[in-house]
Amino acid sequence: MKAIGLVLLTALVACGKAPSPPAAAASANLPPPAGVEADPVLGKVDAFELHLSHVRDRLSRLPPTLNPEDAALQATVLAAQDLLAVREMYVLKETPKPDERPWQSAERFAANVWRGEPNCEADPGEVKLLYMQQLARYKHPAKFAIWDAQMQCCPDPDKCPPADLAACRGATLPQMKKLAEDLKVRWKTLAPLGLAADVTDVAVEQSPVKGARTDAFEAAVADGAARDVRLQLRRYDFFRAGEPGFGGGHFRAGEPNIAQWVETAHLGDVSQPIETVWGYSLVLLAAREPTRSGKADPAIMAQLNAAACKQMAERQRQEWRDGLLHAAVLRWDREAVEAHFGAGVYKRLPRNSARFGQPTPQQ
């Protein structure tokens, strides 16, 4: 029924025969809120008086970053559209709630007509555009594969007394340095990687480090463990932290000190002992993969479709509001507008009515 009413209203306006609002709306100049005595009229929008309080309602909802003149202009236009939207409510036999201001009634009415249901049939081009605009959210950040020989003083750092952790680190650091020297010796027996060490686009399965170097690293760790050194060997991937757009992603970040070392290391490099929250680590960089795009899975596409539906509904509401204002007779009170918002705002206010195709008379 709402849709039929809107179509009929649009047809009447197009013919230059805007329907007369019922008595309640025709005489209702939408007075200021109760208790407000001084609320000057800034102008007339068709049969409605636009009060200063209506504009201030809208001003309070605009971003504070707008410059004062732009904000006053935008608020005045929005407030004028609000009054026209309230008139349309009466045409469709709807009335504002007793405690509503015009902007609240207008937004509620438009939101009920153009709902922006998430399962609407959005334009595929708009969905694709949203995907491209937000591509960083659907990318995998740069990934690193490492072999990590860990000396864990405290498996749970949060429960480890600081003095105990410091004492353990002091006792185990010489053992980790000895392991680092052992790895240097083993590395001298391996063929150099040369330019392959500078490769930045390689998965661990194709890495030139896989094989001789990873085997030598594992053998050195095994020998260290045989000497009663508390070492754990872990092989895992982690992703570069701090990448724009990845704050909400489910990506494992590396221990900060390890991640910092990896950023400047070459493939096949072995670190010196790195202090971590649990003790020390020796790290072999085995692979590095660049940032890459992930597949747009159905869940992501459903989110984008819902966003496109919402945008489409918001655009339809605004187009409807713009059309109402474009067809209205606008009479601004120059003295009142300039007194409250300045001459610049008065000069920039819309003055033409599509219904008559000529400037609207000014007071």
Other C-beta atoms lying within 10 Å of the C-beta of residue 352: 12
Provide mean pLDDT across the span 344-358. 70
Domain layout of the chain by residue ranges: 2-113+329-359, 142-290
Handedness of CA 169, 173, 175, 180 (dihedral sign): positive
The pair of structure tokens assigned to 14 is: 């197009």
Residue 250 or residue 117, greater confidence = 117
* CB distance 300 to 330 below 8 Å: no
Provide mean pLDDT across the span 90-95. 89
Highest averaged pLDDT of the listed ranges 44-48, 132-136, 201-205: 44-48
Reply yes or no on whether the pLDDT at 93 is more than 50: yes
Taking only the tens place, the pLDDT of each residue in 312-339 is 899 999 999 999 999 899 999 999 999 9
Cα distances from 151 to residues 16, 184, 220, in angstroms, run 84, 19, 14
Beta-ladder partners of 149: 233, 282
Eight-state DSSP code of residue 202? B
The pair of structure tokens assigned to 217 is: 């690293």
pLDDT at 344: 93
pLDDT at 35: 47
pLDDT at 252: 63
Provide mean pLDDT across the span 228-257. 68
Give the global pTM: 0.49
CA–CA dist 101, 103 (Å, integer):
6
- 55 conformational bin, left if phi > 0, alpha if psi -120 to 50, beta if neither: alpha
Taking only the tens place, the pLDDT of each residue in 179-228 is 999 999 999 999 888 888 887 778 888 889 999 999 999 999 888 877 76
Round the CA-based radius of gyration of the chain to a whole number and report it: 34
Reply yes or no on whether the pLDDT at 257 is more than 80: yes
